[in-house]
Chains A and B, each alone.
Chain A
Amino acid sequence: MMRRLWPLAFITFKEGTRNKAFYGISLLAIVLMGASFFISGLVMRDVGKVAVDMAVSTVSFAGLLVVFFVGIDLMAKDLDKRTIYMVLARPISRQQYIIGKFVGISLLVVVTVFLLSVFAAISISTIKWANPDYFPRFSWGPVFLAEAFIALSLVLLSALSFLFASVSSTSFITMVLTILSYIIGQSLSSVKAIVESPQDITVSPVTVALVRAAYYIFPNLSLFDIKAQAAHSLAIPSAFIFWTVMYGLIYIVLVITFAALLFTKKEFP
């Protein structure tokens, strides 16, 4: 199986790393991390928390841009410009195409997050060196974990973009649906908490049912956001780490399986 998938995953990864948008986003992230050195100098308290929060947020933001502007483009261009012909003319099934392409894009996302995390570590270390008093209980563990969770949530988001690409006719629709899923996934947990225990407002049972249904359909991306814990160097329970990783992996497998099933029905006239 991997023998067939690897060539496609590899050229997808290679094409992604040569995309100009990829360099632009990486450069932006590095500039933002450099800027955090000066910004933290302007903050007179909690410099350590601000530095970690800014560095991890930059990794998350740049990774998100890579998913939206490079990842979706890699998949969508295959469909829009029919580069998919050069792949499907080989003894590669549509399911293998989806998995191979997904592996390539996931690899791109993980490598991007890893490289940005290196710059984030440099940025935090520099600020820590300049302001050691503001890092009394600092620990790298929660920072690296937050970055690993960012990578997992971005891979999950990429999987969703594959699902949307399997049913939509243009890359624009795929991008809009992916961005909407991201916004919903980030806020749904809070919305659910509000509608289930409303204070000073009346929420109809239909709204509660709709929010609950959406909660179980859309991924709970806020679960992967542990920036605050990383900034405060709080310990993360092992059970939380285990179940969050399981949740992410199971969600990815389900979405990619569903995308592959839908993709078998798709035609490329």
Chain B
Amino acid sequence: MDIINYSRVTKRYNSWPRGNKVLALDDFSLQIEQGEVFGFLGPNGAGKSTALKILLNFVYPSAGTVSLMGKSVSDRRARGLVGYLPENPYFYDYLTAKEILWFGGKASGLHKHEIHDRTDMLLDRMGLKASCERPLRTYSKGMVQRAGLALALVHNPEVVVLDEPMSGLDPIGRKLVGDLILELKSQGKTVFFSSHILTDVERFCDRAGILVGGRLRLVGSLKDLLSRAGSLEDIFMREVKTAEERMQ
């Protein structure tokens, strides 16, 4: 069953006031199945974040349709079972990690005791228990990232969407996130994450896609992709180069 379905999605941003249109996604189609860990690769400005933001309904597609668990992404209920970590997350300065997790749980319809249990477990897991009563503005970048991950997971979502989850993390933090992705995979959750770190994609993903210039240039299982060339890095560099030559 397709949990995530992008069908012929195009996204153009209007650059006001000059009226120039920036093509962020071009006829983009992608299906991700339940329980799959999908790695989304692409150089900076390829359109990865735009694709993820369309899935969360932060931006609207200019053409095409996107659905989450069979529901259109414009239906707010579609986001009930999705956890999202933005690239460079930013939270309310004066709230604590505990308070934003309370908000996340409450807004997702969790009961008081569930929020309490999940918050305790996640803060402990993310190494934030000692600092959970401190305002978030006193957190380091890595701590904010871990708080963001806890917020993404507080309601025990079926689908986890992570935009550059390793960004700003030290090796310990990266190991923590890596282990978490593997744990989610073992629980049968669907994980859709974008990354620049090719080794992470090789380690965690069942399938991967390479996006360049808003177009999905290559998609397939890790096994298939790696059988075409020695490493993901070789495939990535080749696809980016080919796509750039075509665009010129």
Judged by a CB distance under 8 angstroms, whether A137 is at the interface is no
Name which residue of chain B comes closest to A5, CB basis. B107
A96 to B93, CA, bound (A): 22
A259 to B37, CA, bound (A): 39
On whether the beta carbons of B77 and A91 are closer than 8 Å, the reply is yes
Residues 78-121 of B contacting A (Cβ, < 8 Å): 78-80, 82-84, 86, 89-95, 99-100, 102-104, 106-109
A62 to B53, CA, bound (A): 39
Judged by a CB distance under 8 angstroms, whether A85 is at the interface is yes
Q: Which residues of A contact B59 (CB under 8 A)?
A: 267-269
Interface centre among B82, B92, B100 (most CB of A within 10 A): B92
Interface string of A190-226 (1 = CB under 8 A from B): 0000000000000000000000000000000000000
Judged by a CB distance under 8 angstroms, whether B13 is at the interface is yes
Interface centre among A6, A8, A86, A87 (most CB of B within 10 A): A86
A96 to B58, CA, bound (A): 15
Q: Which residues of B contact A4 (CB under 8 A)?
A: 107
Q: Which residues of B contact A91 (CB under 8 A)?
A: 76-80, 107-109
Name which residue of chain A comes closest to B104, CB basis. A90
Judged by a CB distance under 8 angstroms, whether B149 is at the interface is no
Stretch from A10-18, A237-245, A248-256 forming part of the interface with B: A10-18
B122 to chain A, nearest CB (A): 15
Judged by a CB distance under 8 angstroms, whether B212 is at the interface is no
B87 to chain A, nearest CB (A): 10
Other-chain residue from A14, A82, A90 in contact with B108 (beta carbon distance below 8 A): A90
On whether the beta carbons of B53 and A268 are closer than 8 Å, the reply is yes
Other-chain residue from A15, A82, A92, A269 in contact with B13 (beta carbon distance below 8 A): A269
Judged by a CB distance under 8 angstroms, whether A42 is at the interface is no
On whether the beta carbons of B135 and A18 are closer than 8 Å, the reply is yes
Judged by a CB distance under 8 angstroms, whether B66 is at the interface is no
Judged by a CB distance under 8 angstroms, whether A168 is at the interface is no
Judged by a CB distance under 8 angstroms, whether A126 is at the interface is no
A7 to chain B, nearest CB (A): 4
On whether the beta carbons of A93 and B76 are closer than 8 Å, the reply is yes
For chain B, the count of residues having a C-beta within 8 Å of the partner chain is 37
On whether the beta carbons of A86 and B89 are closer than 8 Å, the reply is yes
On whether the beta carbons of A85 and B86 are closer than 8 Å, the reply is yes
Judged by a CB distance under 8 angstroms, whether B151 is at the interface is yes
Q: Which residues of A contact B152 (CB under 8 A)?
A: 89
Residues 214-228 of B contacting A (Cβ, < 8 Å): none
CB-CB under 8 A for A11 and B103, given A90-B108, A91-B80, A269-B50: yes
On whether the beta carbons of A7 and B60 are closer than 8 Å, the reply is no
A82 to B53, CA, bound (A): 12
A19 to B82, CA, bound (A): 31
Residues 126-140 of B contacting A (Cβ, < 8 Å): 135
On whether the beta carbons of A85 and B89 are closer than 8 Å, the reply is yes
Q: Which residues of B contact A89 (CB under 8 A)?
A: 56, 79, 82-84, 86, 152
Judged by a CB distance under 8 angstroms, whether A45 is at the interface is no
Judged by a CB distance under 8 angstroms, whether A83 is at the interface is yes
Q: Which residues of A contact B100 (CB under 8 A)?
A: 11, 86
On whether the beta carbons of A11 and B99 are closer than 8 Å, the reply is yes
A107 to B137, CA, bound (A): 24
CB-CB under 8 A for A267 and B58, given A4-B107, A91-B76, A91-B107: yes
A81 to B50, CA, bound (A): 17
A88 to B57, CA, bound (A): 8
Interface string of A6-34 (1 = CB under 8 A from B): 11101100110011000000000000000
A83 to B137, CA, bound (A): 13
Other-chain residue from A8, A14, A96 in contact with B95 (beta carbon distance below 8 A): A14
Other-chain residue from A11, A77, A86 in contact with B151 (beta carbon distance below 8 A): A86
Residues 32-48 of A contacting B (Cβ, < 8 Å): none
Question: Closest 3 CB pairs between A and B?
Answer: A18-B94, A7-B106, A89-B84
Q: A14-B95, A86-B151 are in contact. List 10 more A-B contacts (CB 8 A).
A: A7-B107, A77-B92, A83-B90, A85-B56, A85-B86, A90-B80, A91-B76, A91-B109, A92-B76, A269-B59
In the complex, 25 of the A-B residue pairs with CB atoms within 8 angstroms, ordered by the A residue number, are A6-B106, A7-B103, A7-B107, A15-B94, A77-B92, A82-B90, A83-B91, A85-B56, A86-B86, A86-B89, A87-B107, A88-B56, A88-B79, A89-B56, A89-B82, A89-B84, A90-B79, A90-B108, A91-B80, A91-B108, A92-B76, A267-B59, A267-B60, A269-B50, A269-B53
